[in-house]
């Protein structure tokens, strides 16, 4: 399904070695430490200044104060502070001036202000460094996890052709279903029971959308035989579902991983066509979020199960895209109103994944820019969280 030339998969680790990223992170951490020390020093100044202000405020309250006068380093002797309203204030740069207590307090307050502004700027700097450090740290961890960057050209022409294909197949599927009604019924029952199980699982686990895509994909490839495959697929799905789920949980980046290496993971369980489909599925999964802005892009992927979740989410935008999609959306999406016959819509949907896969747009999962870093995370996370949605859809369908 997916022409190999379509995109490139670059392991993030090849772009930045984990070590380098860690080094950078530690370097930045060091800098943060330095700044912290500086800030502590300033904070100390501020505290001292506050104390001094209090003292100078109190001094003129009495005509004289009895104090211990330091004499050299070691010795003190009793003395008395007179002229309590006169201070010799160091302005800086060895300039001194005579001031009254009140004036001194004013001066000290001005100094306090400058100190505060310095602390403020230091805080901002530290924050800056912290984001930098966290960026490096995440880059390092991502590189360590084997996160890959997937770039794929988005070819618009592909979308139209596949759509036609899918629509053509649709009828065929249905007709086939009629011919083999008995078979289908059997299959239906099995599938439905399987689906129920799946649903339960999903409810428990919350995320497992990827599997379903498989199920539907298989039919696409093997049109008529799809039912058998479907059943198989479903079984395979459950397994995959669990596995996938686990992966997703462990790391955000996992989805991408799966997309990259999914074949290896899934192959054993599922027949080949499905494997491919899965791979494709996963890709759209991750990408659509990036390109969510333009619904058209996303539509392709959405046809698949997971993607459907997208659709349901952003259904309004995507519905514009085309009647076919609309149909899909209504049928498969969580909006339960849609068609009740589960198989029909699902089958129909299956064809789409193909074109989706081909259609898939460029999505670089990993962005290296600072700010984007965080955003990517959110993207990936969202992709992870997606799978949970399909469940609801499914339920809706059945009802």
Partner 1 sequence: MSSSTAVRDLQKDLENKANDLGKIQKDIGKNHQLRKKYTIQLGENELVLKELDLLEEDANVYKLIGPVLVKQDLAEANANVRKRIEYISAELKRLDAILQDMEEKQNNKRETIMKLQQRLQSIQAGKAKA
Applying CB under 8 A, which residues contact partner 1? 88, 91-99, 107, 110-111, 114
- Cβ of residue 91: shortest distance to partner 1, in angstroms? 5
- DSSP states of 199-228 as a string? HHHHHHHS--HHHHHHHHHHHHHTGGGHHH
Q: How far apart are CA 294 and CA 287, in angstroms?
A: 12
| Comparison of 74 and 88: residue with beta carbon closer to partner 1 | 88
Least Å distance, CB 382 to partner 1, is 42
> Which residue, 107 or 245, is less far from partner 1 as judged by CB?
107
- Please identify, using beta-carbon distances, which residue of 73 and 399 lies nearer to partner 1: 73
Between 44 and 97, whose beta carbon lies closer to partner 1?
97
| Cβ atoms < 10 Å from Cβ of 14 | 10
> Residue 383 — φ and ψ, nearest 5°?
-60, -40
Cβ within 8 Å of residue 245, ≥6 positions away: 205, 206, 207, 208, 387
Instruction: At 120, give phi and psi (nearest 5°).
Output: -60, -50
Residue 307 CB partners (closer than 8 Å, separation 6+): 213, 281, 284, 285, 288, 298, 300, 301, 356
Shortest gap between Cβ of 114 and partner 1 (angstroms)?
7
Q: How far is the CB of 113 from partner 1 (least distance, A)?
A: 11
Of 63 and 90, the one with the shorter C-beta distance to partner 1 is 90
CB of 46 to partner 1, least distance (A): 15
Q: Cβ–Cβ contacts within 10 Å for residue 47, how many?
A: 10
How far apart are CB 124 and partner 1 at their closest, in Å? 17
Q: What is the closest distance, in whole angstroms, from the C-beta atom of residue 129 to partner 1 in the complex?
A: 18
Hey, is 67 helix, strand or coil?
Answer: strand
Residue 230 neighbours by CB under 8 Å, 6+ apart:
187, 191, 215, 218, 219
Cβ distance to partner 1 smaller for residue 104 or 281: 104
Radius of gyration for the chain, computed over Cα atoms and rounded to the nearest angstrom: 34
Question: Considering the complex, what minimum distance in angstroms separates the CB of residue 16 from partner 1?
Answer: 20
Q: How far is the CB of 13 from partner 1 (least distance, A)?
A: 24
49, two tokens: 């200044």
- Return the exposure string of 59-90: e unless at least 16 CB atoms fall within 10 Å of the residue's CB, then b: bbeeeeeeeeeeeeeeeeeeeeeeebbebebe
Compare residues 96 and 185 and give the one whose CB is closer to partner 1. Answer: 96
- Among residues 313, 328, 329, 334, the alpha carbon closest in space to that of 394 is found at 334
Judged by beta carbon, residue 43 or residue 97, the one nearer partner 1 is: 97
Q: Tell whether the torsion through CA atoms of 19, 367, 359 and 319 is positive or negative.
A: positive
Helix axes 351-359, 272-290, angle to 10 degrees: 60
Instruction: Please state the closest distance from residue 208 (CB atom) to partner 1, in A.
Output: 51
Q: In this complex, which beta carbon is closest to partner 1, that of residue 1 or of residue 56?
A: 56
Supply the minimum distance, in Å, between the C-beta of residue 274 and partner 1. Answer: 47
List the beta strands (DSSP E) in the chain.
7-11, 65-71, 75-81, 86-92, 95-100, 148-152
- The residue among 75 and 88 lying less far from partner 1, judged by its C-beta, is 88
Q: Which is nearer to partner 1, 77 or 95 (CB)?
A: 95
């Amino acid at each position: 399904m997916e022409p190999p030339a379509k995109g490139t998969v670059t392991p993030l680790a090849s772009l930045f070695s984990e070590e380098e990223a860690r080094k950078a992170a530690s370097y930045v951490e060091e800098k943060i430490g330095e700044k912290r020390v500086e800030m502590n020093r300033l904070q100390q100044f501020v505290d001292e200044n506050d104390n001094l202000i209090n003292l100078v405020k109190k001094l003129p309250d009495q005509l004289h104060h009895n104090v211990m006068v330091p004499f050299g380093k070691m010795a003190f002797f009793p003395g008395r502070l007179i002229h309590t309203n006169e201070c010799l204030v160091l302005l800086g740069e060895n300039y001194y001036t005579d001031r009254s207590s009140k004036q001194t307090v004013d001066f000290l307050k001005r100094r306090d202000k400058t100190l505060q502004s310095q602390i403020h700027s230091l805080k901002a700097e530290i924050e800056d460094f912290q984001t930098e450090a966290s960026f490096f740290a995440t880059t390092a961890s991502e590189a360590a996890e084997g996160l890959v960057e997937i770039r794929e050209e988005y070819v618009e022409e592909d979308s139209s052709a596949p759509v036609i294909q899918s629509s053509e197949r649709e009828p065929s599927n249905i007709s086939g279903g009629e011919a083999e009604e008995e078979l289908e019924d059997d299959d239906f029952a099995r599938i439905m029971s399987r689906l129920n199980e799946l649903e339960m699982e999903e409810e428990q686990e919350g995320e497992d959308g990827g599997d379903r895509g498989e199920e539907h994909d298989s039919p696409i490839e093997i049109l008529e035989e799809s039912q058998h495959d479907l059943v198989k697929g479903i079984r395979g799905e459950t397994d995959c579902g669990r596995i996938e789920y686990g992966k997703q949980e462990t790391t955000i980046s996992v989805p991408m991983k799966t997309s990259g290496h999914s074949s290896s993971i899934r192959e054993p369980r599922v027949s080949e066509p499905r494997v491919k489909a899965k791979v494709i599925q996963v890709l759209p999964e991750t990408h659509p979020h990036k390109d969510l802005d333009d619904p058209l892009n996303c539509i392709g992927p959405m046809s698949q199960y997971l993607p459907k979740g997208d659709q349901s989410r952003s259904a309004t935008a995507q519905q514009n895209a085309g009647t076919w999609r609309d149909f899909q959306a209504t049928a498969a999406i969580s909006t339960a109103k849609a068609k009740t016959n589960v198989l029909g819509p699902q089958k129909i949907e299956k064809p789409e994944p193909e074109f989706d896969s081909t259609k898939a747009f460029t999505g670089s999962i990993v962005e290296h820019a600072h700010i984007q870093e965080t955003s990517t995370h959110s993207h990936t996370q969202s992709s992870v969280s997606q799978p949970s949605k399909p469940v609801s859809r499914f339920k809706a369908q059945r009802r």
